[in-house]
Amino acid sequence: MAAAVKAGAGGGSRVIQIVGQTVPVLVEVGEGVLVRQSQFCQSNAIVVIGCDGVLLIDPGVDGHDLMALSEDLVRLGLSVAAGYATHPHWDHLLWHADFGAVPRYGTEKCVVTARANALDARTKAQRLAPGAPVELIGLLTPLASGAALVPWDGPDVQIIEHDAHAPGHAALVIAHADVVVAGDMLSDVEMPLLDLCSAQEILSATTRSDSAGSPPHSRTQTSP
């Protein structure tokens, strides 16, 4: 099958389709940013095109998805330069050998949490993502604390670290393309879940701040 591509405009995005293949494989949601959606919770794998390969964010979810994504990239003449996991939940720690032995990044807290829960992540993947290579789950390189950008040869991808959904969760801002990768903080099919441990820390900090006499405009109000 030829590696040429055909692009069709529509709704502000482009469908990148392999010539001779009837099913769209990737959707361009911003300049040089492509998305492939899994049937599992409509989870999105994000591809950011760089100078010498792509940054692959949260690839998944089952073995078929991972293999199909790899094949799509090959057909488009794209190789993987680096990976990134937005947070340490099992379905965001997946990888496939065909993507290559490239650096896979996460925030420091994300990587620590992923390593501590590796067995649980692999058990869940075996049950919920048949065919996904469980031995490759969570093999991440931690970034320095407070790192502002993903270290790769491509457009700036800004890291906004927070703990709202999981420890070390990071939203990624791809400013040139007007794209934010939220990593489960937005969904059409499920309610984004709050990390309750982090929520307790936030509430405790707020309580301490209020007790210390914070000005009224800085106080946080919570509903019963």
Domains of the chain in sequence order: 11-209 (3.60.15.10)
Please tell me the distance from the alpha carbon of residue 221 to that of residue 188, in angstroms, as a whole number.
Answer: 27
pLDDT digit string, tens, across residues 87-105: 998 888 999 999 999 999 9
pTM of the full predicted structure?
A: 0.75
| Cα dihedral: 136, 172, 202, 205 (round 10) | 110
Higher pLDDT, 37 or 207: 37
Higher pLDDT, 150 or 17: 150
pLDDT digit string, tens, across residues 40-74: 556 789 999 999 999 999 998 888 889 889 999 99
Task: Work out the percent of the chain whose per-residue pLDDT is above 70.
Answer: 68
pLDDT at 108: 95
Task: Work out the percent of the chain whose per-residue pLDDT is above 90.
Answer: 47
pLDDT at 183: 77
| Cα dihedral: 6, 23, 48, 64 (round 10) | -150
pLDDT at 198: 59
Give 82's contacts (C-beta < 8 A, 6+ positions apart): 53, 55, 56, 102, 103, 104, 105, 150, 151, 152
Name which of 177-186, 194-203, 209-218 the model is least confident about: 209-218
Please tell me the distance from the alpha carbon of residue 205 to that of residue 224, in angstroms, as a whole number.
Answer: 18
pLDDT digit string, tens, across residues 119-156: 999 999 889 888 889 999 989 999 998 899 999 999 99
